[in-house]
């Protein structure tokens, strides 16, 4: 069975689709059995494409994208092995929705996977900013990818038959 990762931001048009497509690129490149998607805590942009500035930032960095925004639903916790929030507010909202402690344990902040992130683990919302703000988000997303991929590889290895996972 595939390992399943979702990214969650506010409206699912800037940060979370950017992280989704960067991780998709890496897991496809490595041939990892990982399903990746994203959603938002709010419903403001449900059904919309990713913000054009997100698409442009992805393209500048060499990534493809295709996206329709959606809102995270409380019933989805069982779908995912890892739920990655883009800032502390998203993490709080997800933890409040989680049905139990096991589900809350699957929620992490993206920048937790960046050893150089420092004490502020929030990825700032670029929505009201310009190109530089979207490029900063891209830098932060890319900086977290090695650690996130390491976490995913370890989980996949643990799930291999004969590797002791009951």
What residues act catalytically?
9, 15, 125
Distance between CA 65 and CA 157 in Å, rounded?
28
Distance between CA 50 and CA 45 in Å, rounded?
9
- Angle made by CA atoms 95, 100, 106, in degrees to the nearest 5: 60
Compute φ and ψ for 36, nearest 5 degrees.
-130, 135
Long-range contacts of 137-140 (CB under 8 A, 24+ apart): 137/14, 137/15, 137/18, 137/57, 138/18, 138/22, 138/57, 138/58, 138/60, 138/61, 140/110, 140/111, 140/114
Distance between CA 18 and CA 55 in Å, rounded?
8
């Amino acid at each position: 069975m595939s390992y399943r990762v979702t990214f969650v931001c506010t409206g699912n048009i800037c940060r979370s689709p950017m992280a989704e497509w960067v991780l998709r690129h890496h897991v496809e490149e490595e041939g990892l059995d990982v399903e990746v998607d994203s959603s938002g805590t709010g419903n403001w942009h449900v059904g919309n494409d990713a913000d054009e500035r997100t698409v442009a930032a992805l393209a500048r960095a060499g990534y493809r994208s295709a996206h329709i925004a959606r809102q995270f639903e409380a019933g989805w916790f069982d779908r995912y092995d890892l739920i990655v929030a883009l800032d502390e507010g998203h993490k709080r909202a997800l933890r409040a929705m989680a049905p139990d402690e096991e589900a809350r344990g699957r929620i992490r902040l993206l920048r937790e996977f960046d050893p150089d992130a420092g004490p502020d683990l929030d990825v700032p919302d670029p929505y009201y900013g310009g190109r530089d703000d979207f490029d900063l988000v891209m830098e932060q997303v890319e900086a977290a990818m090695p650690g996130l991929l390491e976490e995913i590889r370890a989980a996949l290895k643990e799930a291999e038959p004969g590797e002791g996972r009951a």
